[in-house]
Structure 1
Amino acid sequence: MALPAIAPYRMPSAADLPANKVSWTPDSQRSVLLIHDMQRYFVDAFTSGASPVTELVANIRQLRQHCISLGIPVVYSAQPGGQTPEQRGLLLDFWGAGINGGPHQKQIIDALAPAEGDIVLTKWRYSAFNRTQLMDILRQGKRNQLIICGIYAHIGCLQTASEAFMNEVQPFFVADGVADFSWENHQMALNYAARLCAVTTTTQQLIEQLRPQAIRGGAPLSRQQIRADVVELLQQDAALGDDENLLERGLDSIRLMSLVERWRNTGAEVTFVELAERPTLTDWYAMLTSTAQPPVEVAAAFQRGVRPTA
């Protein structure tokens, strides 16, 4: 039941990404970077000096440095060595005893060694949320996005992404910042994440998007762009009326959150509740092309039957 030796395979690129179901945008003020289980025990299963592990380590290093420069917290997960059968639980049946009690196997590889200020969580099960303080770290920091990299993609990384999603945390699954037993397992993880719980992306795409707001923001939204974005998501024609209730035209909470994320990336200061409470293009033109926006009661949006979760 030891880990299998992993044959080399090429690391996925941007061309291999599946179509994402949502258009969430990473934000340096909302994100935490998770480096998942990059311990010698797991990394040593790969063929040293070959793909995908060479790209894996290089990309995580680059992403970690970029996150540090933006003040994004860096969290590591690491499984303990020398677990008792009681501590190991059902993992014992699937994977055996796991990491031994010595100092070598449990260490995070030197190339990604945690620095002062990084957080290292002791991880007991597939998900990095299970029996750890990861959710507390996110909530206390008022952060609701989790960038996931590490190994193995279709096991712990994917389980962590799924649990993040179920706790209202947006996961970003770094396609060339994770690795797996095989190309097939790797692609399975990407496809599942994109369809059901996360945004799949690449290291370079994340670095491009994770910029200070002053750099990332572009020109103010135009009326034409606002309409085009709505028409695209609703798959409606351009005859959509400016004063129509967009909720009645099929704009559900998932699509509405996608619009919020898209427009925030342009520098617009807008919230889910503000759009949901006044769901017409006319109102949105006024909100998104104005620098001053009136406060909105959360209860008003709820009375219209919209929730900020699917």
Structure 2
Amino acid sequence: MAIPRIQSYALPQCCSENKTNWQVDPDKAVLLVHDMQSYFVNFYDVEGELVKKLVKHIDALISAARAANIPVIYTAQPADQKPEDRALLTDFWGSGLTNRDTSILSTIAPKDGDKVYTKWRYSAFKRSSLLDDMKAQGRDQLLICGIYAHIGILSTALDAFMYDIKAFVVADAIADFSLEEHLQAIGYISSRCGQVALLEDLKASLSVDHENRNNKRGLVSIPSLQCAVAEILNIEVDEVDPEENLLYLGLDSIRVMTLLEKWRAQGINITLEQLSEGASIRDWHEIMQTRSQLEAVIA
């Protein structure tokens, strides 16, 4: 009935394909650090690679959000809940937290001014003022990181959709009971109620200067380029070395044109002639960055 012990697994290096092409607007966004309490984290091996990487990614996301003046909020379940408050959660997960393990991990803990919402159900919106607070601030985008993907994070993203709030779930800054459930959750979100992104892509968009935000669609990270090439070649991401000549991997001009069409649909304006100036993922990334900077200057 309680949460099971969770085996470590590698965080995803690719995202599910999104139905949407939403762009994060720092003036409209809020970052939610979801349920990163000792009680929940301790079901993992806290010294394992999964938890170390998860906390590192969440910390980086928090820093990027603060730098972009995006409010950072948290959810935390209370200890020793009354039966009427816990209600049906008891039937699935037992009595829940005690006083000794309610704290949010110290390395990513709230700072003065950050709001912590009491978490009563799977969704962060249930029995909280989160929706009203976001409306009062004129914010309709919710960036989500934390645990667990297929329970509270999925439920919060689905509720956000119901309230016309755009949910952005950071695929490698969340964790779950297993890789399978993790992938199922982000697959559902990307196809039904929100948008899934990798940390580096989201950081790239948030790092763009305020006055040049209209140009941030042209930024693409090396991991996302690796994912795109791996997908079109039907190989594993680990097989795509950023330094390797893409011709050696079997990437021909027809497949490159397919990638270009996909990127153009996402607002990334790059031509075959421009890409041909480089031979590797690293080269392509530099070419795209240069193009983005030129467009910002022209704008």
Q: Name the aligned partner's letter for residue 165 of structure 1.
A: F
Q: Does 1:197 align with 2:193?
A: yes
Q: Distance in 1 between matches of 2:23 and 2:145?
A: 17
C-alpha deviation, 1:78, in angstroms: 0.3
Structure 1 residues 232 and 123, CA, compared in 2 at 3 Å: closer, same or farther? closer
Indicate the SS of the match to 2:49. Answer: coil
Q: Distance in 2 between matches of 1:10 and 1:185?
A: 13
Structure 1 residues 232 and 55, CA, compared in 2 at 3 Å: closer, same or farther? closer
Q: Name the aligned partner's letter for residue 27 of structure 1.
A: D
Q: Distance in 2 between matches of 1:218 and 1:209?
A: 9
Q: Is the 8 A contact 2:76 2:118 kept in 1?
A: yes
Q: Distance in 1 between matches of 2:205 and 2:91?
A: 42
User: When you count helix as a share of all residues, which structure comes out higher?
Assistant: 2
Q: Name the aligned partner's letter for residue 144 of structure 1.
A: D
1:153-172 equivalence runs, <5 A: 153-172=149-168
Aligned to 1:45: 43
Indicate the SS of the match to 2:80. Answer: coil
Match of 1:138 among 121, 134, 140: 134
1:165-184 equivalence runs, <5 A: 165-184=161-180
Say what the alpha-carbon RMSD is for the aligned residues.
Answer: 2.3
**What does the per-residue CA deviation read over 1:17-64, in whole Å, with 9 as the maximum and x for residues that have no partner?**
111001001111110000000000000011122232111100110110
**What does the per-residue CA deviation read over 1:204-231, in whole Å, with 9 as the maximum and x for residues that have no partner?**
1111111333243449x9xxxxxx99x9
% identity of equivalent residues: 42
Unaligned ranges ≥5, structure 1: 222-227, 234-265, 268-290, 292-310
Aligned to 2:111: 115
Aligned to 1:214: 211
**What does the per-residue CA deviation read over 1:154-189, in whole Å, with 9 as the maximum and x for residues that have no partner?**
000000000001111000010011000000110000
Indicate the SS of the match to 1:55. Answer: helix
Q: Does 1:7 align with 2:21?
A: no
Indicate the SS of the match to 1:186. Answer: helix
Structure 1 residues 213 and 41, CA, compared in 2 at 3 Å: closer, same or farther? same
Q: Distance in 1 between matches of 2:52 and 2:212?
A: 31
Indicate the SS of the match to 1:120. Answer: strand
- Normalised to the residue count of structure 2, the TM-score between the two structures is 0.71
Indicate the SS of the match to 2:33. Answer: strand
Q: How many residues in Structure 1 have an aligned counterpart in Structure 2?
A: 225
Indicate the SS of the match to 2:32. Answer: strand
C-alpha deviation, 1:84, in angstroms: 1.4
Deviation above 4 Å: which 4+ runs of structure 1?
A: none
Q: Distance in 1 between matches of 2:214 and 2:30?
A: 21
Indicate the SS of the match to 1:52. Answer: helix
Q: Distance in 2 between matches of 1:128 and 1:51?
A: 27
**What does the per-residue CA deviation read over 1:81-123, in whole Å, with 9 as the maximum and x for residues that have no partner?**
00011111000100000101x2x21110111111011110111
Aligned to 2:87: 89
Aligned to 2:123: 127
C-alpha deviation, 1:232, in angstroms: 5.3
Report which of the two structures shows the higher radius of gyration computed on alpha carbons: 1
Aligned to 1:148: 144
**What does the per-residue CA deviation read over 1:255-285, in whole Å, with 9 as the maximum and x for residues that have no partner?**
xxxxxxxxxxx88xxxxxxxxxxxxxxxxxx
Q: Distance in 2 between matches of 1:75 and 1:218?
A: 27
Q: Is the 8 A contact 1:17 1:200 kept in 2?
A: yes
Indicate the SS of the match to 2:45. Answer: coil
**What does the per-residue CA deviation read over 1:98-149, in whole Å, with 9 as the maximum and x for residues that have no partner?**
101x2x2111011111101111011100000000011112101101100000
Q: Distance in 2 between matches of 1:186 and 1:51?
A: 16
Q: Distance in 2 between matches of 1:171 and 1:87?
A: 27
Q: Name the aligned partner's letter for residue 209 of structure 2.
A: P
Q: Name the aligned partner's letter for residue 40 of structure 1.
A: S
Q: Distance in 2 between matches of 1:47 and 1:128?
A: 26
Q: Distance in 1 between matches of 2:176 and 2:50?
A: 9
Q: Is the 8 A contact 1:11 1:51 kept in 2?
A: no
